[in-house]
């Protein structure tokens, strides 16, 4: 294999690994939302259902940035596989 | 799907269109929806029993959600939203109810971006309908004309974000499922299916339809 191709494949995989660190952001956000949800349920146990739905939908939207990073990582790994063959 | 980001397998060529796994899965889902619609809505009575009760509860739940999110005057969106919910839920859980014969069609970016573009057309179509073309164009130059590029990019980002969010979630479920099946094919994948297919599929269905509803309502206000 040519050196350039090898280097590109290497750095693509490395980039995918680094890109997954984006998970830090959504994890913090979702944890914060879950904590606030627990607080809200503690304060108002009868509104449990509504709080749960709102919290989960909010978390799913907060997850979006992490999912973008995941898609980019998949693309990078796919590129590396294509180059290595 | 045995490898990551494999393009869907093409079955045959129909004129200029390649008929691949995604399209076949969508045909199956469409068939299920039509047959279920015909069977479930047959001979309704004035006093509902059994099956009719379930159908009415489903329709009423979606109707009340639509009138809660979009407003009482926009309840005519209920059929559209209900169709989207059923379609997306069946599509996200396709790997589960077809016993692994079908891949979820929403793990194909063409399908999810298509749905995103559909939402985009709906949002902008209803914005033009309720504000008029001049009011719609003027909306991009508010609150100050300098923000026009930002507003336009924000509008164009909506279908991409809707499509890629759904695609990424379902694809990650499929990929992790494949990894688990390689590592531990017996009994262990069951909770994985419950989480990634049922829970994640239902949540992403809700998120997609909820965002579509909110965007349309925001564009119409």
Predicted confidence (pLDDT) at residue B3 exceeds the cutoff of 50: no
User: Would an 8 Å CB–CB cutoff place A74 in contact with chain B?
Assistant: yes
Are B12 and B2 in contact, with CB atoms under 8 Å apart? Answer: no
Burial of residue B45 (CB within 10 Å: 0-12, 13-18, 19+) is exposed
Are B72 and B57 in contact, with CB atoms under 8 Å apart? Answer: no
Smallest Cα distance from B121 to chain A, Å = 22
User: Would an 8 Å CB–CB cutoff place A82 in contact with chain B?
Assistant: no
The two structure tokens encoding residue A61: 């939207």
Mean pLDDT over residues B84-91, rounded? Answer: 92
Is the bond preceding residue B170 a cis peptide, omega within 30 degrees?
no
Convert the pLDDT of each residue in B173-199 to its tens digit. 888 888 888 888 888 888 888 888 888
pLDDT at B6: 58
Domains of chain A, start order: 3-84 (1.20.20.10)
Smallest Cα distance from A21 to chain B, Å = 16
Choose from B207, B208, B211 for mutation: most chain A CBs within 10 A.
Answer: B207
- B175 contacts A71? CB cut-off 8 A: no
ipTM value = 0.75
* Residue B7: partners with Cβ closer than 8 Å, 6 or more residues away: B20
* Residue A74: partners with Cβ closer than 8 Å, 6 or more residues away: A16, B4, B5, B171, B175
Residues in chain A, overall count: 85
Q: How far apart are CA B3 and CA B15, in angstroms?
A: 29
Q: What is the residue extent of each domain of chain B?
A: 10-220
Convert the pLDDT of each residue in B12-61 to its tens digit. 777 788 888 888 889 999 999 999 989 888 877 777 788 888 888 999 99
Smallest Cα distance from A8 to chain B, Å = 19
pTM above 0.80, yes or no: yes
Q: Which residue has the tokens 């298509």?
A: B114
Q: How far apart are CA B117 and CA A64, in angstroms?
A: 18
Size of interface A-B (CB pairs under 8 A): 38
Q: How far apart are CA A49 and CA A1, in angstroms?
A: 58
Are B112 and B166 in contact, with CB atoms under 8 Å apart? Answer: yes
The two structure tokens encoding residue A78: 């796919």
Q: If you average pLDDT over every residue of chain A, what do you get?
A: 89
Q: How far apart are CA B89 and CA B13, in angstroms?
A: 28
Q: List chain A residues with CB under 8 Å of B165.
A: 64, 67
């Amino acid at each position: 294999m040519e050196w350039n191709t090898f280097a590109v494949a290497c750095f693509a995989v490395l980039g995918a690994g680094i890109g997954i660190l984006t998970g830090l952001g959504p994890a913090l956000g979702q944890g914060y939302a879950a904590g606030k949800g627990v607080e809200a349920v503690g304060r108002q146990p009868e509104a449990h259902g509504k709080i749960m739905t709102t919290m989960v939908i909010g978390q799913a939207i907060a997850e979006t940035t992490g999912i973008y990073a995941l898609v980019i990582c998949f693309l990078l790994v796919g590129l590396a596989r294509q180059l290595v063959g | 799907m045995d490898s990551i980001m494999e393009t869907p397998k093409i079955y045959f060529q129909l004129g200029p269109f390649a008929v691949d796994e995604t399209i076949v899965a969508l045909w199956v889902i469409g068939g299920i929806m039509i047959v279920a619609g015909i069977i479930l809505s047959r001979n309704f009575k004035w006093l509902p029993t059994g099956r009719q009760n379930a159908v009415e509860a489903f329709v009423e739940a979606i109707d009340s959600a639509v009138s809660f999110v979009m407003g009482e005057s926009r309840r005519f969106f209920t059929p559209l939203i209900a169709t989207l919910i059923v379609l997306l839920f069946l599509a996200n859980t396709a790997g589960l109810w077809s016993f692994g014969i079908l891949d979820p069609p929403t793990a194909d970016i063409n399908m999810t971006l298509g749905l995103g573009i559909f939402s985009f057309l709906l949002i902008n179509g209803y914005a033009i309908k309720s504000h008029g073309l001049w009011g719609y164009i003027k909306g991009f130059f508010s609150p100050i004309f300098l923000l026009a590029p930002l507003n336009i990019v924000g509008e164009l980002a909506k279908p991409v974000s809707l499509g890629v969010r759904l695609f990424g979630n379902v694809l990650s479920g499929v990929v992790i499922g494949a990894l688990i099946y390689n590592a531990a094919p017996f009994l262990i994948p069951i909770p994985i299916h419950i989480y990634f297919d049922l829970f994640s599929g239902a949540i992403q269905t809700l998120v997609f339809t909820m965002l579509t509803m909110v965007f349309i309502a925001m564009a119409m206000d």
